[in-house]
Amino acid sequence: MFTSFNLFGQVKEHEIKLRDKKGNPSLINFKETRVANQTQSVRSFLKKQFKADDKSEFRPSGNLVRVKKTNAESQNFHQYYNGIKVEHGRLNALSKNGNLTKVVGKYVDIKNLSITPQLTEQQALNFALQHINAEMYAWEDKNFEEFLKKEKKDTNASFFPKGELVIVEKDMWSDKPMPRLAYKFNIYTIQPQSRANYYLPFRNSSRS
């Protein structure tokens, strides 16, 4: 009963070592609370700990890392809202001998956020390119494009940016960051040379 209660409950206050500006735990050291390190158990715990609604979920990302000598494991979990990735919502779950020992990372509070884009992908890309205003982009150079195709062994490979719908926080470093739906583009420029991710957030559009 002790293990079952802690699995679906929340950790003790003294186990929370750090909180973010909104009061969400960003570092938990497990002492009394017992949570099995199976993926579904961790996902259920995170959902309960952060009081996440039914639209939110935590998906494992990357490979599970094991250290055989110490029986320690590490697994990253990425936050999703209505199936859309929360760009900076990541939590790392550390465990030993089958139970969690530490959870560290960032959870983003999201409620009633519309996931309907207010612009098409092409419109968003046009805004990004107007802002960057580079003289030449990687996809405009035949040598760059041919190199990528050979490297990827894919005749369709291109540096032309593909938009991804994500959720980002506007004013991320402020006291009141606001989640926004956004298009994310990875844009590679040659003149001047640069490669970076660009986010084009939409105005907040809540729904009931």
Tens of pLDDT, residues 181-206: 999 999 999 999 999 999 999 876 54
Task: Report CA Rg, the chain.
Answer: 21
Q: State residue 4's pLDDT score.
A: 37
Q: What is the rounded CA–CA span in Å between residue 5 and residue 136? A: 59
CATH number at 2-105:
3.10.450
Q: Which two tokens stand for residue 63?
A: 């490979």
pLDDT at 82 > cutoff 90: yes
Mean of pLDDT values over 141-157:
97
Q: State residue 69's pLDDT score.
A: 82
Residue ranges of the domains in the chain? 2-105, 121-201
Tens of pLDDT, residues 47-76: 999 999 999 999 999 888 998 888 899 999
Q: Which two tokens stand for residue 40?
A: 């579904």
Q: What is the rounded CA–CA span in Å between residue 118 and residue 116? A: 6
**Which residues are registered as beta bridge partners of 7?**
none
Tens of pLDDT, residues 12-58: 999 999 999 889 999 999 999 999 999 999 999 999 999 999 999 99
